[in-house]
Structures are given as structure tokens and as C-alpha cells.
Amino acid sequence: MKHLFYLLLITLVLITCHRCTGGSNSQYDYSVRVVGVSDGDTFTGLTDNNEEIRFRIYGIDAPERAQPFSQKSRQYLSDLISNKTVGIIVETERDRYGRPVVWVYTPDGEDVSAEMLRAGFAWHYKDFSDDLEYALLEIEARKSKVGLWSDLNPVSPWETRKK
């Protein structure tokens, strides 16, 4: 059992280091200045060419507007990235709504998806991400009952969208 724990820990470190940027812009595909936050998993960035692009954040799904914690999720993301230049790594060029699906990094090199999960303001979007770190962060947030996990019966955004 102890060996399994260390193997899991080493795997998690390797996954984290693979995406680790150390705050260096050379590790990003490009950077944008965040000019708007729509909700807890979508934002608008301005490129160096003054082009506005609407992005979907990889690996997470935040509460829909009519759901509990929607505003808190949006505000938390806004506090993390609004009016800041963030690093972008493209996962998918376009989702079904035409948005690039991207990893986003704060000016300090923090993974925004991980921060949203850690704070309990998003679900790990397992249909599109098999990221072990994200799964563990959601489990920890659930156990700690932080953010949306303090709700007695949180309903996932994908369940809300089905209705």
C-alpha cells in the first residue's frame, strides 16, 4: 500500500511538472490580457494584435448562471485573472462553440483550472479530461466541503444543461 501511495505521488509530480511553466512565457503558446470573465470557466482575452478571443478553460466545468455558486465561481476566476496577462497553452483549437479550449496560467505561473478546483468553484470535467491532479483536487475540495461542495446536493453543470 505504501508503494502504491509513493507511485501515485511520483505520477502526480510528473504530471504537474510536465505542465509546469515556472512563470516563463517561453513555455506558453501565447499570452493574452484578460478583458472579461463570462463565468467560472470562460473568459475573453486580448492578444498583442488587439484581437479579442473567447476561451474555454480546459479540464473544468463551472456552475451555470442559474445554479448556486455561479456568481461566486465567476468572481473567483475574475479575482485570479481579470486585467492580468495570462499564459495560454492550447489543448483544442475549437470546441463546439468555436472557442479555443486552453490551459491558463496566472502571471505567477499558477494553473487556473487547479485553482478553481482547489477552491471548490468548479467540477473536474471528466468527460474531456483524465487529468489525475484535477481529479484529486476535486476529491479534496469535496472532502473539505469548500465552495460549491458546501451545498447539501450540488448539481453538476452538465446535469443542469440536460434539463
Active-site annotation holder among 74, 99, 118, 133: 99
Is 56 an active-site residue?
Answer: yes
42 closest CA partner among 57, 52, 58: 57
Q: Quick check: 160 and 65 in contact, CB under 8 A?
A: no
CA pair distance 91, 2, nearest whole angstrom: 34
Catalytic (active site) residue 74: no
Q: Which among 133, 130, 105 has a CA at the least distance from the CA of 27?
A: 105
How far CA 44 is from CA of 26, 29, 50, 66, 124, in Å, comes to 22, 16, 12, 21, 21
Single out the catalytic residue among 56, 74, 118, 138: 56
152 burial level (CB within 10 Å; 0-12, 13-18, 19+): exposed
Spatial distance between the Cα atoms of 124 and 131, rounded to a whole number of angstroms? 9
Which residue among 33, 54, 64, 110 is the active-site one? 64
> Is 64 one of the annotated active-site residues of the chain?
yes
Q: Which residues are catalytic?
A: 56, 64, 99
